[in-house]
Amino acid sequence: MLERAQASPGDLLVYRLIEAHLHSLSSGDPDTAANAVDSIMQSCVNFAAEHDPRLIPRILNNWALHLAEVYQPAIRTPALQEAERKWGPSQPGALFFPHPMPWVT
């Protein structure tokens, strides 16, 4: 379905969350990895704000966990701090990936 651009918006969110996770595992420059994580996770928060705001605290938790993977000891980037000021604190827990949506063929 991806090759036909038939993924749902919810599936795109799952893909973007996985993409951010993979950037957090980068063995390259930490600042480059953190910038990628910030950009991707901000787009995930924006998507959730429009489609399902209940996801925002869990997305913010993923964001914080990714940055903890990039920077040891963990830091909160200005982008994450701004998102938490706007949306409230993250819900501490494990990484969160929503279930994919059923595909219609």
For the cut 70, the answer to whether the pLDDT of residue 3 exceeds it is: no
Name the CA radius of gyration of the chain, rounded: 14
**pLDDT of 6:** 66
Alpha helices (H) in 25-101, listed in sequence order: 30-51, 56-70, 78-87
Structure tokens at 76: 């909160």
Q: pLDDT digit string (tens) for 56-96?
A: 999 999 999 999 999 988 889 999 999 999 999 887 899 99
The answer to whether the beta carbons of residues 34 and 70 sit under 8 Å apart is yes
**pLDDT of 89:** 87
What percent of the chain is predicted at pLDDT more than 90?
69
Q: pLDDT digit string (tens) for 12-60?
A: 899 999 999 999 999 999 999 999 999 999 999 999 999 999 999 999 9
**pLDDT of 71:** 94
Contacts of 11 (CB under 8 A, 6+ apart): 100, 101
